Amino acid sequence: MDRVFIEQLQVDTVIGVYDWERTGTQKLLIDLAMAWDNQPAAVDDQLSLALDYSAVCQRVEQFAAQHAFELVETFAERLAQLLLKEFAMPWLRLKITKPAAIPKAAGVGVEIERGCR
């Protein structure tokens, strides 16, 4: 199976367990690897048969803007389920990085895999 990927997509969302974290949005970085058979799209150069990464990015940005979670884990799980369902992809790996969470770290977060390869 082929993979379509998106790296370091920046989104703004309300995320965090502390009161000060919930007063505004914070930046998250999203990395996605998504299973997709690219051969049908490549035969006749048809976007309609490809996994449209622009549409995926727009959906991720919309999801982030519309939701507020305390845990990055919850954000990741809900986003993964939404993407698997809406884009009918069989598998994805999703990494969420919260760059400002720990002052001495470049970032912290979670990485999950869902679906079947």
- Are 33 and 9 contacting, i.e. CB atoms less than 8 angstroms apart? no
d(CA 55, CA 86): 11
Q: Count CB neighbours of 1 within 10 A.
A: 12
Give the model confidence (pLDDT) of 70-80 as tens digits.
999 999 999 99
Which is catalytic among the residues 27, 85, 95, 98?
A: 98
For 25, which DSSP code? Answer: -
Based on the residue annotation, tell me whether 104 is a catalytic residue of this protein. no
- Are 83 and 93 contacting, i.e. CB atoms less than 8 angstroms apart? no
pTM score of the predicted model: 0.94
Give the model confidence (pLDDT) of 33-86 as tens digits.
999 999 999 999 999 999 999 999 999 999 999 999 999 999 999 999 999 999
Is the model's pLDDT at 111 over the cut of 90? Answer: yes
Residue with tokens 């993979």: 3
Q: Cα 10 from chain centroid?
A: 10
For residue 19, name the pLDDT band (cuts at 50, 70, 90).
confident
pLDDT for res 117: 81
- Ordered structural domains, the chain, with CATH: 2-115 (3.30.1130.10)
